Amino acid sequence: MSDWINIKTDSAEQLVQLHHFSIVKPTAGGNVTFAITVKEFAAPPPGQRLRFYAEADKAVNQKTASFVPCGWGTSIFSALGDCVPRDAGQHTLWTRMRAAGARSGGDDRGASDASDF
């Protein structure tokens, strides 16, 4: 464990170390680059038990019910894994949103934005 977490002196403060990642997802219309920031809290925020939170820089599924991928975890790897779908079966919300779009006819394969995820 790193020494930086011991710097926090006031219990009301939230000391956070930021970790930055990038992933390029191929789509029919070209590649889409996502920047993902993982926040490593020195102590879990109020009401939370986990110290790691990952969030992408842009919304996905923009044509039906857009959402910003995010995830909590006990490690950088687990938070990042919850945020980034490795395949369609591993991201439950992503899969449900995708299926709903296909049923309603909102599945546009020619899109070049993040809506293909």
Dihedral of CA atoms 100, 62, 68, 95 in degrees, nearest 10, equals 20
The predicted model scores a pTM of 0.70
Question: Rounded CA gap, 9 and 4, in Å?
Answer: 11
Nearest-CA neighbor of 69 among 26, 48, 38?
A: 38
Contacts with 38 (C-beta within 8 Å, 6 or more apart), sequence order: 18, 19, 20, 21, 52, 53, 54, 76, 79, 80, 83
**Could you read off the pLDDT of 76-113 as tens digits, one per residue?**
999 999 998 654 444 444 444 445 555 544 444 334 45
